[in-house]
Chain A
């Protein structure tokens, strides 16, 4: 019975193109788009930014502009639809060394400019001011040879303010961040969409009388429900491995990043088993609850999308308010994504082990609730 049930559920899923698209194609497309979208280098983002720069042609203002342009910005004096507009005050040298805190620059951002770009430009404007101030100071004190060409003076300032040599970033972190941000999130998002085929196949069985027929077969329907979930659990494991292959090996290659190796196989195994179990268990509650195809799509899809948003899949968690970040700590999708990230880096820490425990407890509670809901449901079955 178990083998025949597994075979039946696999045929049902694969013969429904919508389910295949939702479970396999949609997450691949999301992983591809999001990874590609986030793969743009900071240099490229800055270079493509349209910045309007208004000055009174004072020397110090021009020098500030050159320091800012040194980060890669293309500055234009007139640009009606700029992403950002910078207006410098006059008497810059005097104001820079004044003890009064008077704003020296006014920045206006375009409505389409993202918060991340705004923060980056702010940071670069501050750095440009710091370099300008140091430059003027060194000229005043005679530490800078004012006969040197301006380019050489600037090179000297840039060299003295360069602190990058003090920071060491792990090699993996340099190569993987884009992939580890987008791939785990959308992989987990896809795996949790197992809710749709489980709900739809069960609804079909209720509506065409198959479940009533099964009630008169010598089979325990609770057992039948569990075997159905087992079939989808196996499917979910296959889906996870397929998506990980695409997300870890193929997508990085497409955007010129190194492929993510499968480091610790036992960690991968733990992650696959626990994440798929949590996804199928959660889906089983929805499947036992919904009474129509519309409910299945709205409730199953809707809950997943809300949970993904709260888990930081759509907007990075670290730029969310503290209250939303705390809510994410209670989301199974968040635990799942954290676990997948840990597996990609090949190093489980305390947080990952806690995620495994949370997901296992969540799965146990979900399965108990769905078994109760399903019992009630089959009790109400009668011949229509």
Chain B
């Protein structure tokens, strides 16, 4: 079942000559994690603002699966939580005071509020700093508090904007583990980050935005990349052999990259190499990295779908 469906979405800022977003189509299943990546100014924040009900699309629709027939703003208030990149809390208040204040804005009873504060403190491992003023916390704890406040209302959908910026590897690990645990509990997550390895680790779907247009990447965890450096430049006729194997290859001078989806494809590829008797200088066989996709995509001016 879908958490939300975005259809032909376009957004144009007043007086802007080109749309900030156009032709966006996303269908995100409940309990999945969507990674939003792209350079600064590519439209990620605009898309998050629309999903949060802060902006109204110029055209297209955003549909949240729900039984309550709520308006977008009401649905967001009830089921969606934001974790901004900034520390969106009160530095002069202690961790507990921050949590108590934000939980008081939710429609919980006093007892429920207390339970939510305790649960979230435990989830985000904030108990040991509960009485410290937020401004004196380390970067990692500040990030956890930022996340904890979002979790107070027990949201079904969570938007996170670079939630691990400026965080040490241990704290980053604990934040990512928490997000994985939330996903396992059925929470839907929209995650934006420039740290592509993180996105690759926790996201099920990835949308790359460039100048307001989207490319959709469904990362097949089994797909790997065979990178070979030959002694000589490869001939076009030799490379064309791969079209018969339906293996996607990229070739430039004496370098070849082949995207392998199964063992059978790997064996077929090795057989061809063996027959060709070309001199091989170097060879890697590795998980395809999102960084590779990202760089390839951003270097090309056209929009390609993988």
Residues of A bordering B, CB below 8 Å: 1, 3-5, 7-8, 11-12, 15-16, 207-210, 212-219, 224, 381-384
Contact = CB atoms under 8 A, between A and B. Distances in A.
B82 A212 contact: yes
B88 A213 contact: yes
Interface stretch (B95-103, B237-245, B271-279): B95-103
Given A8-B90, A16-B92, A214 B48 contact: no
B84 A217 contact: no
B90 to A, nearest CB: 7
A217 B102 contact: yes
Contacts of B90: 8, 11-12, 210
Contacts of A16: 92
Given A8-B101, A209-B86, A217-B102, A383 B45 contact: yes
Interface string B39-83: 000000110110011110000000000000000000011101110
B104 interface: yes
B100 A384 contact: no
A219 B52 contact: no
A322 B4 CA distance: 69
A22 to B, nearest CB: 17
Interface residues of B, number: 35
Contacts of A7: 97, 101
B216 interface: no
B149 interface: yes
Contact of B76 (A11, A216, A219): A216
B45 A382 contact: yes
A155 B75 CA distance: 93
B15 to A, nearest CB: 14
Contacts of A8: 90, 93, 97, 101
B104 A208 contact: no
A208 B77 contact: no
B270 interface: no
B84 A213 contact: yes
Interface centre among A16, A224, A382 (most CB of B within 10 A): A382
A224 B101 CA distance: 12
B45 A214 contact: no
Given A218-B105, A218-B153, A383 B97 contact: no
B212 to A, nearest CB: 15
19 contacts: A4-B101, A4-B104, A12-B92, A208-B87, A209-B88, A210-B89, A212-B82, A213-B84, A213-B88, A213-B150, A215-B52, A215-B54, A216-B77, A217-B106, A382-B45, A382-B46, A383-B46, A383-B52, A383-B82
B186 to A, nearest CB: 20
B137 to A, nearest CB: 14
6 closest cross-chain pairs (CB), A and B: A209-B84, A4-B104, A209-B88, A15-B92, A382-B49, A209-B86
Contacts of B84: 208-209, 212-213, 383
